Amino acid sequence: MSKKYLYYFSEGNDAFGGDNAPLEIIKGSRSAKNDFGVDIALVGDKEKIFSCAAQNKISLNDIDIIDAPDVIAMTDQPGEILKSKKESSMAVGLQALADGKGDAFVSAGSTGALVMGATFIVKRIRGVKRPAIGSVLPSNDKPFLLLDCGANADCTAEHLKQFAQMGAIYSEKFVKVQSPRVALANIGTEDSKGDRLRHEAFDLLKDTKEINFIGNVETRDVPYGCCDVLVADGFTGNIILKLYEGVAGAMMANIKSIFKKSSITMLAAMMVKGGLLALKVRMDYSEFGGAPLLGVNGVVIKAHGSSDAKAIRNAIKQAKTCAEKNIVGTIAQSVRDAADAE
């Protein structure tokens, strides 16, 4: 594959493009360049990027800068990326991806603006009705993919079917799961459970031959590894995602508090230090990088808003893998095959 720029969305103001921009973004990009040998272009206010790098003694000699003076604020409506914020770093970076100047685009900015921009600038894969955000999350068994995580609050059964198809491809290609088990998030495991959307989606999914659909699952069983791909509408999926993150954070905080209670508990902590560190790594979102926006005609990765340099580095690694494994082309072919079979 020919080398092209890996675009990263860098904002010149700490308030936008993630809680830790631009410093952690520059540091993470520098680390990814050193570790993976990818070509990187930072998109944003050129003067502020150079100034931040100089103040922190970070070399940008082999990293390109694409000047984009404007920013998408969290208070902006997502549609502004197509109107008054066409010169924002997010819009400029997405346009560069759409023009074939890069293989991937990574952003820690506004989710709504990124989905809107990717959908209308990069555009959807032909035949895809809605793109979906997929997040890889830990379980007791192995990581699983949850989608949609917030791109589409309102969905139809056909949308959920396509999410399942795209999720199965991503799970197989990126998470390396053979014949991934696809499940529908519901309030019970019985076929008759749920509302009309869940009933209609269940009927479509059970007849979709190209996926390994195992039926409905209750979300309490998900952390135990009951499925490899969990399908939900964006409203439900986002609630699951944020609860998952919150519970994981609270659990780790409680464990830390318990082991700090006395000298005896601190000694006990030293005895199980290896296991605790392994658990921390497994529950750390930064290990997974970011969430792909599946269904658009280019690799677009949404990094967590509070991403540090490590998370940015891993998001770029994730983008590189998606480009090399041709996730977009594989999804496009699957959609074409499904249309031909109907």
Q: Is 110 inside a domain boundary?
A: yes
Statement to judge: residues 1 and 123 lie in one domain: yes
Q: Is 305 inside a domain boundary?
A: yes
Strands 132-137 and 144-147: antiparallel
Alpha-carbon distance of 207 to 297, in angstroms, equals 27
Which residues face 106 on adjacent strands? 8, 301
Statement to judge: residues 217 and 280 lie in one domain: yes
Statement to judge: residues 13 and 120 lie in one domain: yes
Q: Is 335 inside a domain boundary?
A: no
Q: Is 333 inside a domain boundary?
A: no
pTM (two decimals)? 0.90
Q: Provide the residue range defining the domain that includes 200.
A: 134-286
Statement to judge: residues 150 and 279 lie in one domain: yes
Statement to judge: residues 147 and 110 lie in one domain: no
Per-residue pLDDT at 1 exceeds 50: no
Contact between 239 and 233 (Cβ < 8 Å): no
Statement to judge: residues 25 and 86 lie in one domain: yes
Q: Identify the CATH number of the domain in which residue 184 sits.
A: 3.40.718.10
Statement to judge: residues 117 and 143 lie in one domain: no
Statement to judge: residues 151 and 277 lie in one domain: yes
Statement to judge: residues 54 and 111 lie in one domain: yes
Q: Is 331 inside a domain boundary?
A: no
Statement to judge: residues 274 and 151 lie in one domain: yes
Q: Is 336 inside a domain boundary?
A: no
Q: Is 340 inside a domain boundary?
A: no
Q: Is 50 inside a domain boundary?
A: yes
Contact between 115 and 310 (Cβ < 8 Å): no
What's the pLDDT score for residue 11?
A: 37
Statement to judge: residues 168 and 220 lie in one domain: yes
Statement to judge: residues 122 and 33 lie in one domain: yes
Mean pLDDT of the region 294-303: 95
Nearest in space to 248 (alpha carbons), one of 137, 135, 143: 137
Contact between 331 and 166 (Cβ < 8 Å): yes
Give the chain's domain count.
2
pLDDT digits 0-9 by tens, 269-289: 888 888 888 887 777 766 777
pLDDT digits 0-9 by tens, 214-268: 999 999 999 999 999 999 999 999 999 999 988 888 988 898 899 899 999 988 8
